[in-house]
A and B are shown apart, each in its own frame.
Chain A
Amino acid sequence: MAAIIRLQREDFDAAGEAAHWVRGRSDVGAVVTFTGICRSDEGVVAMTLEHYPDMAEVEIARHVDDAERRWPLKGVTVIHRYGRLLPGENIVLVVVAAEHRGAAFAAAEFLMDYLKTNAPFWKKEERAGGAHWVGAKDGDDAAAARWAPASGKREAAE
């Protein structure tokens, strides 16, 4: 299965990336597109994302491979931005194309749960009073933990 994985400063076009998996083919019946966006919590004026470049690509690819072992997929795109972002800006994109919606929804959620805990990015929030590193959330660890290790067999999509 082909996958597109990109780390970049620039914004991305979610609709365009999703369209890529449908263009010129008729075996894709479901495309799920998730966009993570920078919010403005309690006076956050900007957020800077630091990352570990080589590890980020390798780690995201590892999780895409894992998703492909668990569900029958036709294509995956993951784009993660880094650098200084403002509230309202896109941070991360996950697109999953499959024959049916069960696999597309499940794989997209699985990938986002892992991106939240295992992808080497660190967020620093700026407020009027100063900048602080965001702490990892227990809820994110719990969400990632509920995906039992892949048995090597594909889960039923529907």
Chain B
Amino acid sequence: MKVLYFAWVRERVGKADEIVDPPAEVGTVDELMRWLAARGEEYNHAFEKRQVIRAAIDKVHVKPEAPIRGAREIAFFPPMTGG
């Protein structure tokens, strides 16, 4: 699945997007954040405060407990500051 990063999440990870293939036991958005955090220093720094990070699956806001199965793209970002 494609993962996208925005704002300071993007800056800490060091890239805007990538394709990932998490194992089957990674079932929710929160579990995906924990799995990503373990990929390296920069990921750990990006996801160290998971409660601050928001997510969208296929361009729809989702909660941390949302299942990721079937998602085409998942985006992670800080709370939005548009308008």
Contact = CB atoms under 8 A, between A and B. Distances in A.
Q: Please say whether chains A and B are actual partners in one complex.
A: yes
Interface of A: 36, 49-52, 54-56, 58-59, 80, 91-92, 112, 115-124, 133-136, 140
A78 to B, nearest CB: 10
Interface residues of B, number: 16
Contacts of A52: 4, 6, 56, 59, 75, 77
- List the 7 closest A-B pairs by CB distance, nearest first: A121-B82, A136-B79, A119-B82, A122-B7, A115-B83, A116-B83, A55-B59
Interface of B: 4, 6-8, 10, 56, 59, 61, 75, 77-83
Contacts of A55: 56, 59, 75
Most buried by A among B59, B61, B80, B83: B83
A59 B80 CA distance: 12
B81 A122 contact: yes
